[in-house]
Amino acid sequence: MTQTSEQGLTRRERQREATYAEIVSTSRALLREGADLSLRAVASRMGMTAPALYRYVASYQELVDLVAFEIDKAATDEFRAAAAAQPDDDPMAQLICASVAFRRWALRETAEFSVVFANPVAASACHRRPEFITAWTSGLYMHGLLIKVWHETHFDHPDLDDLDPVVAAALREPLFPVDVTELPEGHLGMLWPFMQAWATLYGTVTLEVFGHMDPRIIESGSLFASMLGEWLPRLGYDDADGRYRALLLAEIARPE
């Protein structure tokens, strides 16, 4: 092999990597302009022809999967930044900020959100690489926050044996975004409230993004606020002083 850069990549490999990055960035630019994602549009904006993209991506669906993965990664950075405004020893405050950031991002970048979350995933990419499950990065991050919350409150969660055996078996070797090494020993059941919380969070936001709801209520953010507020006691906070509820409302009202 000829000279490789300090990352261990040859010139060609580095070029290839750069092209991948450009594909993703042009795709995201298209989505943000309201245009729809297409091989031809991406290629022509890059000064190429459509068939050239097949050197990087085997099909249109694979382009979508690639872009979705990168979008999710970038969005997670945004959630992380929002959470960073809260002290590190207050994971619930971080979780609130991250969740609100998730909603804010979804309502602002509806096209990007649709690519990641309103995109059937099961048969297409899941079986190849588990980490290509859409929302892998964001799910991992959110779950990490939830674990930090548990370390503070030790909130209740079912035991594996109390759950449907099928579910228990699934939780023992989960194929969704979770870092089991972060999970305290013998507390696999904590995954269950995580999935419940994720379902309601995802559901509320999807409902709002797709507009299946009175626009005035969406704009007010009340539905989202009540949904998130209901999770406080379940996560071990009575919030007697109303601090978290106040933070929640303030974050929702905060302009971009």
**What residues line the site for DNA (CB under 7 A)?**
1-2, 10-12, 15-16, 19, 37-41, 43, 47-52, 54-56, 59-61
Q: What is the 3-state secondary structure (H, E, C) of the chain?
A: CCCCCCCCCCHHHHHHHHHHHHHHHHHHHHHHCCCCCCHHHHHHHCCCCHHHHHHCCCCHHHHHHHHHHHHHHHHHHHHHHHHCCCCCCCHHHHHHHHHHHHHHHHHHCHHHHHHHHCCCCHHHHHCCCHHHCCCHHHHHHHHHHHHHHHHHHCCCCCCHHHCCHHHHHHHHCCCCCCCHHHCCCCCHHHHHHHHHHHHHHHHHHHHHHCCCCCHHHHHHCHHHHHHHHHHHHHCCCCCCCCHHHHHHHHHHHCCC
From its own copies, DNA, none, interface partner of 19 (C-beta below 5 to 8 A by class)? DNA
Give me the least distance between CB of 31 and DNA, in Å please.
13
Give me the least distance between CB of 5 and DNA, in Å please.
12
- Assess 6 for contact with its own copies (CB under 8 A): no
Of 105-144, which residues contact its own copies (CB under 8 A)? 110, 117-123, 126, 133-135
Q: Which of 167, 236, 237, 245 binds its own copies (CB under 8 A)?
A: 167
Which residue, 14 or 108, has its beta carbon nearer to DNA?
14
The one-letter amino acid at 177: P
Give me the least distance between CB of 3 and DNA, in Å please.
8
From DNA, its own copies, none, interface partner of 214 (C-beta below 5 to 8 A by class)? its own copies
From DNA, its own copies, none, interface partner of 121 (C-beta below 5 to 8 A by class)? its own copies
Which residue, 120 or 255, has its beta carbon nearer to its own copies?
120
Tokens representing residue 118 in the block: 């309103």
Distance CA 82, CA 33 (A): 25
Q: How many residues bind its own copies (CB under 8 A)?
A: 46
Of 24-43, which residues contact its own copies (CB under 8 A)? none
Residues that bind its own copies (CB under 8 A): 110, 117-123, 126, 133-135, 163-164, 166-167, 169-170, 174-176, 195-196, 198-204, 206-207, 210-217, 219-220, 222-223, 226-227
